[in-house]
Copies of this chain bind each other. A is one copy, B any other.
């Protein structure tokens, strides 16, 4: 099977980027931060599969984790449907989206979402980008996505919307370079999620478990809000103070309890 980005001959120690058909100048590949923690790799692979099983990711979308040995490196899969990702598909990147060693494999064109968020947010150690259908309505409407219940305390401080049209005019909607990634990260600011108008969402967290758990419950919260609003009554949303107290008490207990289940189901371990 051919890949969407033209396969290039592998040039050891250099990067010849061919994105959307544009041949870029060759530049030295970034150096590796070294072998990542095996537990990090295992959890990152599980994250791809969990999010597919939970219906948050389909054939598109991706997850990344900051490298445990270097704050300026992150790890994500080569261009591949999430449910198929294995440890062998993971590649190390710098903030500019340059791979340490892609081994000729195609890359996600939106890896700049990840790189620029890691650059802007030192507290973030994992990023999910997904197109969950129940979230798209909130990305295109004037009705804000709000926390309906305790599982969504992580959006108690709001969910900003990044409209790529505001800064970049008419585009192909993709965050496919560093400039667009930076603009997205700026709208994300200090929040945990940023909706992308007519596209999807980026969700961040201090651990892979948080980014995955937030992605799952953000999707549930969107469904709950849609259904609550359809009932036509007055709604009591989670108060920002309530949300903050839940975050202080340990947001959803670090997602440890569901993570054990999700991982067991996704990896058969």
Task: Point out residues on A near B: beta carbons under 8 Å.
Answer: 1-4, 20, 58-60, 79-81, 83-84, 109, 131, 133-134, 136-143, 147-151, 153, 163, 165, 170-174, 197-200, 220, 223-224, 226-239, 241-242, 245-246, 248-250, 252-262, 264
Contact = CB atoms under 8 A, between A and B. Distances in A.
7 contacts: A4-B250, A139-B149, A140-B148, A174-B249, A198-B236, A198-B238, A229-B230
Nearest to A84: B261
Nearest to A223: B133
Stoichiometry (number of copies): 4
A84 B257 CA distance: 10
A232 B1 contact: no
Contact of A242 (B138, B171, B224, B264): B171
B231 A231 contact: no
B2 A143 contact: no
Nearest to A145: B231
Contacts of A199: 149-150
A60 B258 contact: yes
A142 B260 CA distance: 36
A39 to B, nearest CB: 11
Contact of A173 (B84, B150, B230, B257): B150
B140 A170 contact: no
A257 B60 contact: yes
Nearest to A4: B253
A257 B79 contact: yes
A43 to B, nearest CB: 11
B227 A229 contact: no
A228 B149 contact: no
A140 B226 contact: no
